[in-house]
Every structure is written in C-alpha cells, then in structure tokens.
Amino acid sequence: MQNMHNLPGQITALFKQETIPSDALSIVEKVIAGLDDGSIRVVEKKDQIYEVNEWVKQAILLYFKLKGIEKLDSGSFYDKIPLKTFANSVNRIVPYSSCRYGSYIAPKVIVMAPSFVNIGAYVDSDVLIDSLVLVGSCAQIGKSVHIGAGTVIGGVLEPPNSKPVIIEDNAFIGGNCGIYEGVQIDQHAVIGAGCIITSKTPIVDINTGKEYFGHVPQNSVVVPGGRIKEVNGHKFILQSPIIIKMRDPQISAKLVLEESLREFIMV
C-alpha cells in the first residue's frame, strides 16, 4: 500500500486534532482498505506477545466520525459503513448474514445466517461461523476455528490501546458462549456450550487449582461452572468456568468435549 509507512503518524496526528481537515477521510480510507484486504491488522504478534496497533483503532474511530449515513447498495438499509463485497466464491456467506467493509474474511470461511462480522475483525481461513454469531469489532479469529451457533465474540474498539478478543488457531467455541473484554483463547482450546468469559471471570483448573483471568491456556477443555460465595449469611453461586482436562489436539474437539463431560459427571 502506497505510503504505508506514513500512515501511523498521520492517523495519530489526525486523531488528536479537534478540527479534522477536509482531506482526512482519504487518509483514513487507506487504513480501512488495508483492514478489508488483510494487509493491515489491529493486532500483531511479536515475540509471542500480541501488540495492539493503536493507530489502526484510531483510524476506525475517525472513519465513524467522518463518514455520513448513506443508503447501502444491498437494499433499504442506511449506515455509515458499507457491507463488504466478495469478488469470488472462495467463501460461503449465506444470505441474511453481513460482513462490514473493513473486516477481513480469508478464503474458505463459512458464515451461516444470520451472523454479523464487524469492522476491524480479522477472520482467518477455514473458519466456521455458525448461525446467530456476532464477531465484534477488531476481534481476531485464527485458522480452522469453529464458532458455535448463538455465540458472541465481543468487540473492543475503545480505548484504542485495548486488546481485542483473540481466538487462536484450531480453537473450538461451543454454542451460546460469550467471549468478551479482550479475552484470549489459546490454540486448540475447547470452550463448552454456554460459557461466558470476561477479563474478570475466574477460570479454574480443577486439577491444579490454578486460576486464570482473561486467558484460556492452550489445549484446555473448559465447561460452565460455579462456586459458592457467602454474603451476609446468604449463599450465592458465582459463575466460574472450569478447566476439566487438557486436550489431545489429535482428537476432534467435539469428541474430546463429550468424553470429558462424561468422565467428569461420572466422578
């Protein structure tokens, strides 16, 4: 992309200005185009650490600010951001699903209806996004990930330096889950149906007693759980997903989840 090396400084300078110059949108649109084709990402992994490109989030926020509401080509819908277009059939985007311009959808991705992928999201190849799934703004989805029906992958746009939700390669997210607030799901992890995980949700490994916050370790098999807390003489069950075992990546996620639950219940 032409003058790519100048974009971070230009965007940061624009973001700090109270009055945005008339030519700002053309600069911002270069970033959004890069997000759309995958050449620019909100997050990059360097030395095994995910680093947020704050200037990219600033560009998205400027895009919302500078764009007016327009009628979309797809019908009687009005928005500031058009829908993404696909030039060939390397993806299956089922009717009544929507991917916003500025999201990257790699080849061999299936988006079942009705699902939605928001601006800034990056969805890598061979991903299945099942029905009624939301992939929020700036979420990062790795290769060969399964996202079950009814699941919400939360968006994290503000503040610009905040880490978005990251789902690494070969993870399996069951139906009706909620992954929010920059939570990171490491590769080959299995999240059972109905798990809600935020940055402050304790995730307890029942075999070691170790607690994790905002992070599910590689190969973990996680199911919904809870623990009792007493307040003023009253007992409450607070949500606390549990790691019941570690997965052998050679075994399918569905099979390992079924076997793990059967073993756990029989204990």
What's the one-letter identity of residue 109? Answer: V
pLDDT at residue 75, as a whole number: 67
Of 23 and 188, the structure prediction assigns the larger pLDDT to 188
User: And the tokens for 85?
Assistant: 């277009």
Specify whether the CB–CB gap between 127 and 106 falls below 8 A.
Answer: yes
Structure letter (DSSP) for residue 101 = T
123: which strand partners? 105, 141
pLDDT at residue 3, as a whole number: 57
Distances (CA, A) of 204 to 89, 156, 238: 43, 25, 12
191-203 in b/e burial notation, b at 16+ Cβ within 10 A? Answer: bbbbbebebebeb
Angle CA 31–36–39, to nearest 5: 65
pLDDT at residue 74, as a whole number: 62
116: which strand partners? 98, 134
What's the one-letter identity of residue 164? Answer: P
Q: Give the H/E segment covering residue 261.
A: helix 253-266
Span 50-107, pLDDT tens digits: 999 999 999 999 999 999 898 887 667 899 999 998 877 789 999 999 999 999 999 9
Distances (CA, A) of 23 to 7, 18, 67, 138, 263: 14, 15, 12, 25, 62
pLDDT at residue 2, as a whole number: 45
Specify whether the CB–CB gap between 211 and 218 falls below 8 A.
Answer: no
Chain mean pLDDT for the chain: 92
